[in-house]
Amino acid sequence: MKKSISTFLKHPVKDNTNRSANPPVIRASTILFNSMQELYQHEKKVKSHKKISHYTYGRYGSTTTIELEKIIKELEQAYHVFLTGTGFGGISLALMSLCRPGDEILVSDNVYGTTREISEDLLKEFNVDAIFYNPDKFEDLQNKVTKKTKMILVENPGSNTFEFQDLSKIVKLAKQKNILTLLDNTWGTPLYLKPLKIGFDMSFSSATKYFSGHSDAMGGTLAVNKKVFKKIMFFYKLSGYRMSADEAYLIIRGLRTLDVRLKKHFDNTKKIINFLKKHKKIKEILYPHKPSSKNYKLWKKYYSGATGLLSIVIKSKKKSSVIKFVNSLEIFGIGYSWGGFESLAILQELRKGSEYIKGRNFFRFTRDEHIVRLHIGLEDPKDLVNDLKKSLKHIK
């Protein structure tokens, strides 16, 4: 019987041996075989990418991580899924597996801060040049392609500023020039966007965010097509990347309610935006909510839903009053990450010269415009609106 993805997420794995509705957590370094012949045969199966229920050694994963791989493979419609111990591990796995001295990579200027750091700083030490392109101008990307371009690294929408790009145009350009493509799809999740189906070679998600959904686990998933599989597998094995069985279990548990949670995040976010858009201290809301905007049109073109992360742009000559606004929120916590059950707020510094992160090359906001990122959680939206309303009064 053909099942919808919502049904699939509720029943992906069971524990048939112990009759539990949930899979067992198999913690293993040693995996036992009945004979050397069985071990050798299994080794061959793993190498030839046959369906397996266990690996030959715990460094490559256990039954629990294989179950998670299977779920993500189905969600992403992927050839294979690599699991990493943090989300960022998935990004570094892709870059370190595929970039070699003399290569250039084209990186969307609005990528997550640490993605920018690895591209700009670490890869440089391996003689790989990262060139940042303006996510609002496809021609800028086009003009920066050279014979050395190995990969285009896109994050959609961009971290903190939420620009949406025309994804199939990027794929078309990359295919014409034989360039690999990687999309950080953490915001939309493969429930709302399937990058591999559009033609990207790799689709990355930080499983720390919506997949786990409870702010208590970390992990990354790198879903790939057949073209890049071998090279990434080579590096994956030799670099020791791995996700623990305990994290895999928590992420499987989170995924069961991914569809339900995302719907509620989206519903709550729409309600919060309805309040924010009438508030005179807010200059702009960075989220695909205005049907006349370019970002909305590009979101609509590719996504079947939206999630709970957005930014607000506050115009104020007094940055201290914006900090006061954030500090005085009671329900919204102050902290990094997002995608959990709870609402969060954080003032983001994205300009060059910032003390905290590497600044952007293409930043369109003035000194008096401050970006506060909000993650809208699963609380009662009326309480969230009241919290924002009372705290926004501090802005001068």
Total residues binding ligand PLP (CB under 6 A):
13
The DSSP line for 321-351 is HHHHHHHT-SSSEE-S---SSS-EEEEE--S
- Considering the rule CB under 6 A, would residue 162 count as an interface residue with ligand PLP? no
Residue from the set 55, 88, 132, 192 that interacts with ligand PLP by CB under 6 A? 88
E strand spans, 241-338: 282-286, 309-315, 333-334
**Residue 150: partners with Cβ closer than 8 Å, 6 or more residues away:** 98, 99, 100, 103, 104, 105, 128, 179, 180
Nearer residue to ligand PLP within complex by CB, 86 or 97: 86
Nearer residue to ligand PLP within complex by CB, 326 or 392: 326
In the block, residue with structure tokens 């075989």? 33
Q: Which of 197, 154, 205 is nearest to 179 (CA)?
A: 154
Residue from the set 208, 244, 295, 307 that interacts with ligand PLP by CB under 6 A? 208
Nearer residue to ligand PLP within complex by CB, 149 or 221: 221
Residue from the set 23, 24, 58, 87 that interacts with ligand PLP by CB under 6 A? 87
Q: Residue 88: CA atoms inside 13 Å, Cβ hemisphere, count?
A: 10
CB of 100 to ligand PLP, least distance (A): 23
- Considering the rule CB under 6 A, would residue 86 count as an interface residue with ligand PLP? yes
Residue from the set 62, 97, 206, 212 that interacts with ligand PLP by CB under 6 A? 206
CB of 88 to ligand PLP, least distance (A): 3
Q: Which of 135, 146, 173, 385 is nearest to 279 (CA)?
A: 385
The piece of 60-68, 84-92, 131-139, 141-149 that touches ligand PLP (CB under 6 A) is 84-92
Length of the chain: 396
Nearer residue to ligand PLP within complex by CB, 55 or 249: 249
- Considering the rule CB under 6 A, would residue 184 count as an interface residue with ligand PLP? yes
- Considering the rule CB under 6 A, would residue 229 count as an interface residue with ligand PLP? no
The 3-state DSSP class for residue 286 equals strand
| Chain residues 311-350 in contact with ligand PLP, contact rule CB under 6 A | 337
- Considering the rule CB under 6 A, would residue 156 count as an interface residue with ligand PLP? no
Q: How far apart are CA 307 and CA 150, in angstroms?
A: 31
Termini Cα distance of the chain: 60
Contacting residues toward ligand PLP, per CB under 6 A: 86-88, 112, 155, 159, 184, 186, 206, 208, 218, 220, 337
